[in-house]
């Protein structure tokens, strides 16, 4: 059923991604690929992996952007994956019922057994979260590691998405964004977490935390010449100036 | 957006086929339909071949064509599914209309009622096709009211051109059909020019800044892409025709789809016998060719918001 759940539950599982701490190492993308190649959405097909034009399915991509100009400019690493939107048009456009949004936790999934590979869902996603598997003829997407987060055979500490488990700087946080008291919701409130492309009305569940303001006093426009008044360097300065 | 040949052929052919069904249905229901069973067999046969070939072509771009039947299940939410339902349902009144006209030799009464239903089904199917594109918010060039108007007008125009060609072949009322085609060309040309003006002036509301949320720091531009070669997203949604080629192709499409068929329709009014036949056939072929180019441009000029993550400034 590709209509959205009539009575969505209060629980909205998702990610909070901290653009201040992300170092752009791509470990999240790599662990995502590793876990999901063997998980319920696997295989994540790679075509010509050792050729000049490799092309494969990834659920997580890390872009790097230059933002701002001159001394105020900075590099921001930007991981991009499914945002598990509250208004996912990728689900409602699906003609077969393969795409669906779970009422109990808001996760958006693809039932690959029903997918005809028409690709319309990937057109409907503004964020490029869905990637077509040309080998299997079906659409694939982030599952929020549904086979980890509810997996009782894993240690409770590991019941988080692979990208979250692996991030070396803890830039990725997983939790219930429908609960205002959850750690992730509090983080969003404290740090001014925001939605991507809110103007399109998809109401993404995942939030991004902005880079913190940089301390401007740390960088002077030009470094002054060293002119120590006393001590050895002062003596050296007087000697060389003489 | 990547202009997939199967979708371009599908929307052009099925549009022309449904346009033809629409005009035949209206003519039959209004009691204006002339022509014997041979004309009926040729006209409805051509329409059915075009519509069916188009629908089959549309399955060629599927990853799993053998599951295509599943696509009629989600009509509650999906315009693609509604299109499938409408196109299949429309076969029933077209079939009954054809049976009444070709087998029983009647286009009034029950046949006329079926003809009217066929016309309504044809229009509904084209509306559904257009709304597949209209409903895609990430693509500003598609997500506007010009799109359904253009799809309907171009289907009506190609249908009227084919109707004129058939009327010329069977020597029935080609003059009336040519006047209809002239009106349809003028409406379609106006709407297409309006569409092109609109997409030039409204390039989309999303920017690299809104896509990343980093606009408060400053202008956002891509420093390093996530991958070194093209992926599915760039192949499917990163396609964009160069602006100078788009201008040239628009002129070619406008000449083939509107200007030449208009001149040829005017000559249909003036000519007789075989020159009239040649003019009418040429107009149908050129017009359909022009719509094929127009449809290619409809995809090639459309820009998806995912390109904002790959260096585009606005989409």
- Residue B199: count other Cβ atoms within 10 Å of its Cβ: 20
Contact: A128, B212; criterion CB under 8 Å: no
Kindly report the average pLDDT of chain A as a whole number: 93
Question: Is residue A36 included in any domain, yes or no?
Answer: yes
Q: Predicted confidence band at A62 (pLDDT cuts at 50, 70, 90)? A: very high
A55 contacts B76? CB cut-off 8 A: no
Predicted confidence band of residue A234 (pLDDT cuts 50, 70, 90): confident
Which among A59, A65, A203 is the top mutation candidate for probing chain B, defined by the most B β-carbons within 10 Å of its own β-carbon?
A65
Q: Quick one: pLDDT at residue A216?
A: 61
* Residue-level pLDDT at A42: 87
pLDDT at B124 > cutoff 70: yes
A107-146 core/surface letters (b: 16 or more CB in 10 A; e: else): bbbbebebbbbbbbbbbbbbbbbbbbbbebbbbbbbbbbb
Examine the pLDDT at A53 and tell me if it is beyond 80: yes
Residue A80 backbone dihedrals phi, psi, to 5 degrees: -125, 125
User: For A98, what's the count of Cα atoms within 13 Å in the CB-facing half-sphere?
Assistant: 29
Q: Could you tell me the pLDDT band of residue B22, with boundaries at 50, 70 and 90? A: very high
User: Is residue B125's pLDDT more than 70?
Assistant: yes
Q: What is the pLDDT of residues A177-208, one digit of tens each?
A: 999 999 999 999 999 999 999 999 999 999 99
In a domain, A226, yes or no: no
* pLDDT tens for each residue of B226-269: 999 999 999 999 987 888 899 999 999 999 999 999 999 999 99
Instruction: Tell if the CB–CB gap between A131 and B232 is shorter than 8 Å.
Output: yes
Nearest CB among B80, B138, B230 relative to A125 is that of: B138
State residue A226's pLDDT score: 65
B227 touches chain A (CB under 8 A): yes
| B222 neighbourhood in chain A, CB within 8 Å | 63-66
CB A41 within 8 A of CB A51: no
The whole-angstrom separation of Cα B269 and Cα B283 is 13
pLDDT at residue A220, rounded to an integer: 58
**Residue A65 token pair:** 């952007």
Confirm whether A213 is domain-assigned: yes
Task: Determine the Cα–Cα distance for residues B62 and B214; give it in Å rounded to an integer.
Answer: 37
Q: What percentage of chain B carries pLDDT values higher than 70?
A: 100
Beta bridge mates, A161 = none
Where is pLDDT greater, at A175 or B203? A175
Per residue in A103-162, pLDDT (tens digit) is 999 999 999 999 999 999 999 999 999 999 999 999 999 999 999 999 999 999 999 999
Q: For B295, left (φ over 0), alpha (ψ -120 to 50), or beta?
A: alpha
Q: Where are the beta strands (DSSP E) in B74-136?
A: none
- Beta strand A13-18 with A207-209 is parallel
Rounded Cα distance between B244 and A28, Å, is 41
Distances (CA, A) of A39 to A43, A117, A156, A180, A206: 8, 20, 18, 31, 22
* Residue A145: inside a domain: yes
Contact state of A124 with B211 under an 8 Å Cβ cutoff: no
Asked if A47 and A54 touch (Cβ cutoff 8 Å), the reply is: yes
| CB-based contacts of A40-43 (< 8 A; 24+ apart in sequence) | A40/A143, A40/A146, A40/A147, A41/A110, A41/A112, A41/A140, A41/A141, A41/A143, A43/A136
Q: Give yes or no for residue A2 having a pLDDT over 80.
A: no
CA atoms of B268 and A112, how far apart (whole Å): 54
DSSP A7: S
Rounded to the nearest 5°, which phi and psi values hold at B222? -70, 130
* Residue in this structure with the two tokens 């499917």, named with its chain if needed: B236
Which range marks the domain in which residue A35 is found?
13-218
φ/ψ of B62, rounded to 5, equals -75, 145
**ipTM greater than 0.85, yes or no?**
yes
B277 pLDDT higher than 80: yes
| Three-state SS annotation for A82-128 | CCCCCCCHHHHCCCCCCEEECCCCCCEEECCCCCCCCCHHHHHCCCC
In-domain check, residue A112: yes
- For residue A175, give how far its alpha carbon lies from the nearest alpha carbon of chain B (Å): 21
Query: In terms of CA atoms, which chain B residue is nearest residue A124?
Result: B136
- Measured between beta carbons, the chain A residues lying within 8 angstroms of B231 are 55-56, 58, 131
Query: pLDDT, tens digit, for every residue of A9-32?
Result: 899 999 999 999 999 999 999 999
Position with higher pLDDT, A11 vs A213: A11
A-facing residues of B in 33-62 (CB < 8 A) are: 61-62
Taking an 8 Å cut-off on Cβ atoms, the answer to whether B138 and A69 are in contact is no
Domain-located, residue A53? yes
Our CA dihedral for B251, B253, B255, B257, rounded to 10 degrees, sits at -160
Cα angle value A74/A75/A78 (rounded, 5°): 135
Burial A159-178 (b: 16+ CB within 10 A, else e): bbbbbbbbbeeebbbbbbbb
**pLDDT value for A227:** 66
Rounded to a whole number of angstroms, the distance from the CA of B195 to the nearest CA of chain A is: 21
What one-character DSSP code corresponds to residue A210?
A: P
The answer to whether A67 contacts B214, with C-beta atoms less than 8 Å apart, is: yes
Domain count, chain A: 1
Domains in chain B, start-ordered, CATH in brackets? 5-310 (1.20.1630.10)
CATH number of the domain encompassing residue A210: 3.30.70.20
């Amino acid at each position: 059923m590709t209509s959205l759940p009539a009575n969505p539950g209060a629980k909205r599982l998702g990610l909070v991604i901290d653009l201040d701490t992300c170092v752009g190492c791509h470990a999240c993308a790599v662990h995502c690929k590793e876990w999901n190649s063997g998980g319920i959405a696997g295989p994540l097909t790679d075509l010509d992996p050792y050729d000049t034009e490799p092309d494969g399915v990834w659920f997580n991509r890390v872009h790097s952007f230059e933002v701002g100009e001159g001394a105020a400019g900075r590099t921001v690493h930007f991981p991009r994956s499914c945002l598990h939107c509250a208004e996912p048009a990728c689900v409602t456009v699906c003609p077969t019922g393969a795409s669906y949004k779970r009422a109990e936790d808001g996760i958006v999934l693809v039932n690959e057994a029903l997918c005809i590979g028409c690709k319309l869902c990937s057109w409907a996603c503004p964020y490029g979260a869905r990637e077509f598997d040309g080998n299997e003829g079906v659409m694939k997407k982030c599952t929020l590691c549904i086979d980890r987060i509810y997996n009782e055979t894993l240690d409770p500490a590991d019941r988080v998405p692979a990208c979250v488990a692996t991030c070396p700087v803890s830039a990725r946080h997983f939790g219930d964004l429908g609960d205002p008291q959850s750690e992730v919701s509090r983080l969003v409130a404290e740090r001014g977490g925001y939605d991507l492309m809110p103007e399109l009305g998809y109401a993404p569940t995942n939030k991004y935390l902005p880079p913190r303001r940089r301390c401007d006093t740390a960088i002077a426009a030009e470094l002054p010449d060293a002119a120590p008044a006393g001590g050895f360097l002062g003596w050296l300065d007087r000697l060389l100036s003489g | 957006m990547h202009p997939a040949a199967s979708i371009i052929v599908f929307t052009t052919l099925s549009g022309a086929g449904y346009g033809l069904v629409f005009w035949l249905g209206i003519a039959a229901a209004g009691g204006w339909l002339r022509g014997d069973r041979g004309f009926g067999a040729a006209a409805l046969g051509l329409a059915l071949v075009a519509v069916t070939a188009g629908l089959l072509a549309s399955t060629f771009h599927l990853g799993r064509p053998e599951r295509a039947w599943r696509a009629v299940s989600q009509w509650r939410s999906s315009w693609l599914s509604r299109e499938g339902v409408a196109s299949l349902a429309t076969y029933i009144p077209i079939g009954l209309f054809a049976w009444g006209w070709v087998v029983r030799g009647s286009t009034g009464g029950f046949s006329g009622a079926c003809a009217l239903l066929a016309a309504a089904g044809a229009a509904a199917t084209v509306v559904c096709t257009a709304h597949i594109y209209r409903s895609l918010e990430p693509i500003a060039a598609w997500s506007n009211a010009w799109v359904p108007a253009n799809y309907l007008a171009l289907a009506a125009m190609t249908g009227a051109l084919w109707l004129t060609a058939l009327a010329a072949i069977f020597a029935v009322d080609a003059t009336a059909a040519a006047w209809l085609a002239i009106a349809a060309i003028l409406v379609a040309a106006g709407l297409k020019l309006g569409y092109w003006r609109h997409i030039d002036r409204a390039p989309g509301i999303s920017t690299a800044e809104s896509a990343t949320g980093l606009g408060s720091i400053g202008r956002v531009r891509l420093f390093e892409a996530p991958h070194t070669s093209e992926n599915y997203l760039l192949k499917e949604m990163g396609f964009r025709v160069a602006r100078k080629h788009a201008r040239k192709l628009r002129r070619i499409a406008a000449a083939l789809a509107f200007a030449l068929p208009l001149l040829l329709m005017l000559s249909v009014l003036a000519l007789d016998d075989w020159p009239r036949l040649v003019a009418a056939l040429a107009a149908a072929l050129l017009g359909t060719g022009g719509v094929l180019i127009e449809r290619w441009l409809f995809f090639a000029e459309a820009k998806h918001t995912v390109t904002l993550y790959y260096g585009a400034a606005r989409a």
